[in-house]
Structure 1
Amino acid sequence: MTIKHLFPLRLAAVLMVALTLCLAVVRPAQAESIAVQRASLQSDGSGWALDARFDFELNPNLEDAVNKGIPLYFTTDFELSRARWYWFDEQPVAVTQTIRLSFQPLTREYRVSTGGLQLGFPSLKDALA
């Protein structure tokens, strides 16, 4: 086999290892655990997309804090690295996404926002779904 034939296999192996590490490094929130329901890495022609779904419940203290107007921030970090035997590992991708959960008392609406996108929900359960 030539190097050209081995590169896609090696890249796929590195991506699978990175995805496994990403799933294994979930940090606890207030002594509660955040479990990964599913995660998949897909190629869309112009790049790669990570689709992950998490399962968690807010404890009563966090739920009370949101209802009093204190926003909660959920941050997902994804790092892809490629091991190299001749030099330090290469890190071609490092992405962080932050999602903000807040309550608006005037409209009695929960808002989930990321970047410039904001979505409103009538209940906390709907906002966390």
Structure 2
Amino acid sequence: MAFVLLWPLAMVARAETPVTLTELRAERAQDGLYLSTQLKFDLSQPVEEALYKGIPVYFIAEADIVRERWYWSDAQVASARRYMRVSYQPLTRRWRFASSSEPLSNAGLGVNFGQYYDQLSDAMAAVQRISQWKIADASDLDVDARQTLRFRFYLDSSQLPRTFQLGAVGQSDWHISVERRIDLTRETGK
């Protein structure tokens, strides 16, 4: 009976991994809209242990641009996704960072950017820094309309092996996310 009473208290005591968005900047260029962001967070011990065991961890950055409409719900103008994977190669003792605009798979097909690092901190720095990411073409943007950028970054637990997905349910150690909105009308200088 004591276990039943203590278990909910242990779940409440854990806090989700705090994510700080130190920079979120949208820049309008002739060919489109570019996003730069800097995140700051530390991996929880269970996530770090899974990485050291060779389990890849996936992150997703989403950027949606919506145009406000008074007569209906907001219209989505543009949408961009960046899929990132961090994995540990035990034989070489190196960390691999992969990034793509399409979902990453173990098949290795598709176009993606990959880089190897000697330290986990270096690989995580690559995840936490997004620079000059094109999120919309110039033809998608309407300079006269009020538009909002919705940015979301999170750890994608659906990509984890099934045993980790079941174990991660209800555990805030695996919950890494941040979401922000910025008014593009004000931000990009209209």
Unaligned runs of 5+ in 2: 1-14, 101-111, 126-190
| Counterpart secondary structure, 2:98 | strand
- Aligned residue in 1 for 2:98: 113
Residue deviations 1:17-41, cap 9 Å, x none? xxxxxxxxxxxxx811111010100
Q: Whole-Å Cα distance in 2 between the matches of residues 39 and 98 of structure 1?
A: 18
1:121 aligned partner, one-letter code: Y
- Aligned residue in 2 for 1:74: 59
| Counterpart secondary structure, 2:27 | strand
Shift of 1:127: 1.1
Q: Whole-Å Cα distance in 2 between the matches of residues 62 and 88 of structure 1?
A: 38
| Counterpart secondary structure, 1:66 | helix
Deviates more, 1:58-67 or 1:80-89: 80-89
2:123 to 100, 121, 127: 127
1:34 to 19, 30, 38: 19
Q: Percent identity?
A: 31
RMSD: 1.3
Shift of 1:88: 3.1
Superposition TM-score, scaled by structure 1 size? 0.72
Shift of 1:109: 0.5
> Aligned residue pairs: how many?
100
Asked whether 1:43 is paired with 2:28, we answer yes
- Aligned residue in 2 for 1:84: 69
Q: Whole-Å Cα distance in 1 between the matches of residues 76 and 44 of structure 2?
A: 36
Determine which structure has greater relative contact order: mean sequence separation of CA pairs < 8 Å that are 6+ residues apart, divided by chain length: 2
Superposition TM-score, scaled by structure 2 size? 0.50
2:34 aligned partner, one-letter code: A
1:76 aligned partner, one-letter code: A
Q: Whole-Å Cα distance in 2 between the matches of residues 88 and 68 of structure 1?
A: 45
| Counterpart secondary structure, 1:69 | coil
1:73 aligned partner, one-letter code: Y
